[in-house]
Structure 1
């Protein structure tokens, strides 16, 4: 071993682990960020104009990324598995609450989508174990995780459309957007350190989309406050 080489490797491993842990902690904040929204839903016993679609996307994404992070698919990225196992639990809780308080038509739609997520996930596990092995299995699940991550990061774009139409950020939770942005940056760095294409590419895209959400939030929340001040002056 070359002098100093072991220290370089130890420092690299430490940095990789530290960035991964930071991503896990930020992800925990992300998973808790919808709590105020669901407190409102429970308090009002109505889902109002909130959409359950982002939570369905998030559940599917967490399940696929959890599978990608397990040793049967990708050894050495266990922090991906840990964060997504916790994420899957939280998303399932949120979806259950949403179904409980949603109108009948929306409740049925969400229930069908939830069942579809589990059927699809079990199908992915079966296909990846039965038809692929080694690197080809990692590639198969990896490309699926990239697609699901991009879909999850893009799902708030539906809410952005509502914000633009109503010129109000009422239904766009700020902390959800902020947490998405921060966790994307963390796992982008984690993926870059691991040189894992399937981690850094979707999280790089998530960083850009998260920044876009924050910019739109800042613009319309400022316009909303300005409108409120003008209304007070007019009265």
Structure 2
């Protein structure tokens, strides 16, 4: 059973390495054009933080050497990507990247390490680090939904409009509209009121 677990872990590490290396084509283009163009640095900054947390987890928890090694590789790769942003990004993007690196990859990571080391015993520390890493994973993979949800809502409402149009496009308006009903009621009411000449006669 342990052998199977190790084998699955190795396969998982290979896949993770391929994922870390997948943006190489993009960054080759950045180097070639000496510009980051419209690319954003935030995904790589967050992935660097994520890799750092999981490396810390792998080092802290016994028997998680595979987690530590693959994410240690991820730290190196993502640090290269972020460095390329700091070199080739426009001035505004370069400043934004430097600020985010300082806040997330340095500040937040340092706080996480300090709190878990000083305020928690080993078991709680391992659980807390794992929770932080898992939460960051969820945030990273769920963030595109922020752009998808409004578009999805608009799509559904648009479909609803088309369906209503298809149902009622050939419908003929009924003669007794609300206005007609009110007008007819008023006419009937007028007939019930005796005219003034009836009282005179």
Residue in 1 aligned with 2:4?
15
Q: What does residue 67 of structure 1 align with?
A: 56
Structure 1 residue matching 2:115: 3-state secondary structure: helix
2:92 alignment counterpart = 105
Q: Which moved more, 1:120-129 or 1:146-155?
A: 146-155
Whole-Å separation in 2 of the counterparts to 1:90 and 1:154? 23
Query: Could you tell me which residue of structure 2 aligns to residue 154 of structure 1?
Result: 142
How far apart are the structure 1 equivalents of 2:147 and 2:14?
A: 26
Equivalent in 95, 107, 131 of residue 143 of structure 1: 131
- For the residues of structure 1 that align with 2:139 and 2:37, how far apart are their CA atoms? 24
In 2, the alpha carbon distance for the partners of 1:31 and 1:16 equals 22
Q: Counterpart of 1:120?
A: 108
| 3-state DSSP of counterpart to 1:135 | helix
Which is greater in Rg? 2
Deviation track 1:149-168 (CA, whole Å, cap 9, x = no partner) reads 2223235x28976xx8xxxx
Give, in whole Å, the separation in 2 of the partners of 1:79 and 1:151: 23
Q: Are the equivalent residues in 2 in contact too, given 1:66–1:85 (CA < 8 A)?
A: yes
Name the TM-score, length of structure 1 as normaliser: 0.59
Please give the root-mean-square deviation of Cα atoms over the aligned residues, in Å. Answer: 1.8
Q: Give the structure 2 partner of residue 80 of structure 1.
A: 67
> How many residues align structurally?
148
Between the aligned partners of 1:46 and 1:79, the Cα distance in structure 2 is 35
- Corresponding position: 1:58 with 2:84: no
Question: Which structure's relative contact order is higher, taking Cα pairs within 8 Å and 6+ residues apart?
Answer: 1
